[in-house]
Amino acid sequence: MTRPTLAITMGDPAGIGPEIVMKALARADVQALCRPLVVGDAQRLRQAGRLVGIEIPVEALSDAGAATFETASVQCIDLKVVPEDLPFGRVSATAGEAAYRYIEKAVEIVQAGQAQGICTAPLSKEALHAAGHRFPGHTELLAHLTGTPEVSMMLVSPKLRVIHVTTHIGLLDAIAKIEPGLVERVIARGHDVLVKAGIANPKIGICAINPHAGEGGLFGRGEEAEKITPAVEACQARGWDVRGPLPADTLFFLAGRGDYDMVVAMYHDQGHGPIKVLGLESGVNITVGLPVIRTSVDHGTAFDIAGKGIADEGSLVEALRQAVDLAPKPQAA
């Protein structure tokens, strides 16, 4: 077996993406893990390298077929869409368009069989929208570019895996959207990923919507019985170890100590909060259901520290590790 090639998108070029990419690719353990192919702007990476004190040369490539991975350099598919004077730490349509173009190119590369997975540095939703690309985030954008009707967001930390039924919509809209068919499909996507990762019979806990899982009808309007329980029963009928709906606060405690292989969260903050409390720097975002492997850092563009050379690359390194674990491994020649 040989190392898989991963297409690494640079993210919003005004954020910390270029800096964490350079810091991650300077690490020997990352180079031993995969064949990293950055999709971005070579001059921005060189600028970021100077900011973080890394002197690795950046090799500008016109296409993925030109990558050799034989030299101690950062291999970059150079799209040349960022002006040299683009300031760090500011939202702009220029940066949003660049971030979009990087993702678009990465999908093209993977679909052409020139890479086995995608790992994304953070983008700015505001900048993406300013450029005319009206997507809530990476997950929805990748679904659009790959023609995938429905995907799920999974967050992974060393102690916890969480998959979401709903993500980037308001809380009232999220509750309205939750229904048994959607919950069952999300559980199934998560179950499939865990089985492929080597967990033969994963134990999956399902969060309730209301406090205390509704407390027998005292809280809420019967959402658990109407929206969640039928999905749990359908999954149990498949022979899966699925339990719930359970009070979210208790379930996350139990999962954090290892009692569950995965938690199914009903809405964005229900799942994101526990992951980020356990350690933002080690969290990884995985898009489940795409025809391509995609992982990402679980943090934003950090405009407040962008350009200062102090951003931590830890989450990106973990995202690369997860991508390697999930990606199909090409056979050595």
Q: What angle do CA 310, 59, 333 make, to 5 degrees?
A: 110
**Does domain 151-288 sit in CATH 3.40.1030.10?**
no
Report residue 230's pLDDT band, with 50, 70 and 90 as the boundaries: very high
Q: What is the pLDDT of residues 302-332, one digit of tens each?
A: 999 999 999 999 989 999 998 888 776 544 4
Query: What residues pair up with 38 in beta bridges, in sequence order?
Result: 8, 76
Report residue 279's pLDDT band, with 50, 70 and 90 as the boundaries: low
Q: Which pLDDT does position 139 carry in this prediction?
A: 83
Q: Which pLDDT does position 328 carry in this prediction?
A: 63
Q: What is the pLDDT of residues 88-138, one digit of tens each?
A: 999 999 999 999 999 999 999 999 999 999 999 999 999 999 999 999 888
Closest CA to 155 of 327, 270, 16, 245: 270
Is the model more confident about 203 or about 68? 203
Distance of CA 84 to the CA centre of its chain: 28
Q: Which pLDDT does position 60 carry in this prediction?
A: 95
Q: What is the pLDDT of residues 41-72, one digit of tens each?
A: 999 999 999 999 998 999 999 999 888 887 77
Determine the average pLDDT of the residues in 187-202.
89
Report residue 1's pLDDT band, with 50, 70 and 90 as the boundaries: low
Is the model more confident about 2 or about 199? 199
At a CB cut-off of 8 Å and minimum separation 6, what does 185 contact?
150
**Percent of the chain surpassing pLDDT 90:** 74
Q: Which pLDDT does position 276 carry in this prediction?
A: 84
Question: Matching CATH topology for 1-148+290-333 and 151-288?
Answer: yes
**Percent of the chain surpassing pLDDT 70:** 97
Q: What is the mean pLDDT of the chain?
A: 92
Q: Which pLDDT does position 45 carry in this prediction?
A: 97
Q: Which pLDDT does position 278 carry in this prediction?
A: 79
Query: What residues pair up with 299 in beta bridges, in sequence order?
Result: none
Q: Which pLDDT does position 332 carry in this prediction?
A: 45
73 token code pair? 């350099």
**Does domain 1-148+290-333 sit in CATH 3.90.10.10?**
no
pTM here is 0.82
Is the model more confident about 171 or about 138? 171
Determine the average pLDDT of the residues in 16-40.
95
Closest CA to 224 of 237, 241, 210, 235: 210
Query: What residues pair up with 284 in beta bridges, in sequence order?
Result: 156, 297
Q: Which pLDDT does position 280 carry in this prediction?
A: 58
Q: Which pLDDT does position 333 carry in this prediction?
A: 37
In the predicted model, is pLDDT for residue 182 greater than 70? Answer: yes
3-state secondary structure the chain: CCCCEEEEECCCCCCCHHHHHHHHHCCHHHHHHCEEEEEECHHHHHHHHHHHCCCCCEEEECCHHHCCCCCCCEEEEECCCCCCCCCCCCCCHHHHHHHHHHHHHHHHHHHCCCCCEEEECCCCHHHHHHCCCCCCCHHHHHHHHHCCCCCEEEEEECCEEEEECCCCCCHHHHHHHCCHHHHHHHHHHHHHHHHHCCCCCCEEEEECCCHHHHHHHCCCCCHHHHHHHHHHHHHHHCCCEEEEEECHHHHHHHHHCCCCCEEEECCHHHHHHHHHHHHHHHCEEEEECCCCCEEEECCCCCCCCCCCCCCCCHHHHHHHHHHHHHCCCCCCC
Determine the average pLDDT of the residues in 159-186.
96
CB 274 within 8 A of CB 299: no
In the predicted model, is pLDDT for residue 222 greater than 70? Answer: yes
In angstroms, how far is the first alpha carbon of the chain from the final one? 9
Instruction: Give the separation between CA 192 and CA 152, rounded to whole angstroms.
Output: 12
Q: Which pLDDT does position 282 carry in this prediction?
A: 66
In the predicted model, is pLDDT for residue 246 greater than 60? Answer: yes
Q: Which pLDDT does position 18 carry in this prediction?
A: 98
Domain ranges of the chain: 1-148+290-333, 151-288
Q: What is the pLDDT of residues 130-168, one digit of tens each?
A: 999 999 888 889 999 999 999 999 998 888 999 999 998
